[in-house]
Amino acid sequence: MTTFRELGLAEPLLKALTVEGYEVPTPVQELAIPPLLEGKDVLGVAQTGTGKTAAFALPVLQAMLAERSQAKRKIRALVLSPTRELAAQIGDRFAAYSKELDLRHLVIFGGVNQNPQVRALRRGLDILVATPGRLLDLVGQGYIDLTEVEFFVLDEADRMLDMGFIHDLNRIQKLLPRQKQTLMFSATYSREIRQLAATMLHTPTEV
Ligand code: AMP
């Protein structure tokens, strides 16, 4: 059986996984982590409950570890989620896996007062987990700079399409640097998802 160590994960992450009680990688983790650590774009078809959050969070954290942190934090990873519940869950996972790391994350979503989010943005962060509408809103107000993003994750992309976020996704993509690693996860492998992948991903590994 493959271990997390054999997948190439670094020591601080292995420690966090032991604390979480994860013994072996799930199938989506086993398939997605190696190409992601190599810097490839990945299209992952996986349902909730398969361990897909760790499949993208661990390689993103590892890549961010490898680079010396700058004097001032800047958003280097952007994770988009269709709903606030999912965004909060993703934030919880990043918190668990990065306890020992000097990386800060923030979760933002709509339907709540923006002021606490704006204050947190001003303090600086490395990883932003967001729903599309509030993200664009705060970008428009000048509180968020996405020009340094190196990792772009679209989680539950099929639900984002179902919820009518396609125009938001296209707008967000235009705000990101051309040179970046993109990860897209979807529960379905529909024609729409393949079309979206064709516009968002660069020669992706499909898992
Ligand atoms: P997800 O599909 O990302 O929502 O993850 C579903 C649940 O599985 C979460 O509660 C994770 O903490 C847990 N999980 C993820 N990967 C593993 C693993 N390798 N071993 C045990 N539990 C895991």
Half-sphere exposure of 180 toward its Cβ, with a 13 Å CA cutoff?
A: 25
Q: Are the C-beta atoms of 12 and 101 separated by less than 8 Å?
A: yes
The Å distance, Cα 50 to ligand 1 centre, comes to 6
- Which of 6-10, 53-57, 64-68, 83-87 shows the lowest mean pLDDT across its residues? 64-68
The Å distance, Cα 29 to ligand 1 centre, comes to 10
- How far apart are alpha carbons 98 and 203 in whole angstroms? 29
Is residue 68 very low, low, confident or very high in pLDDT (cuts 50, 70, 90)?
Answer: low
Q: Note the pLDDT of residue 69.
A: 59
Is residue 206 very low, low, confident or very high in pLDDT (cuts 50, 70, 90)?
Answer: very high
User: What is the position in ligand 1's atom list of the atom closest to the CA of 96?
Assistant: 12
Instruction: Give the single-character DSSP code of 128.
Output: E
Q: How many helices (DSSP H) and strands (DSSP E) are in the chain? A: 9, 7
Q: Note the pLDDT of residue 72.
A: 84
Q: Note the pLDDT of residue 89.
A: 98
Is residue 156 very low, low, confident or very high in pLDDT (cuts 50, 70, 90)?
Answer: very high
By most ligand atoms within 8 Å of CB, the mutation choice from 18, 26, 45 for ligand 1 is 26
pLDDT > 90 fraction of the chain, expressed in percent and rounded:
95
Examine the pLDDT at 67 and tell me if it is beyond 80. no
Q: Note the pLDDT of residue 70.
A: 65
Q: Name the residue at shortest CA distance from atom 20 of ligand 1.
A: 22
The Å distance, Cα 34 to ligand 1 centre, comes to 18
89: Cβ contacts below 8 Å, ≥ 6 apart? 53
- How far apart are alpha carbons 176 and 146 in whole angstroms? 6
Tell me how far CA of residue 130 lies from CA of 37, 39, 88, 137, 139, in angstroms.
Answer: 23, 23, 9, 11, 12
By most ligand atoms within 8 Å of CB, the mutation choice from 5, 20, 56 for ligand 1 is 20
The Å distance, Cα 51 to ligand 1 centre, comes to 4
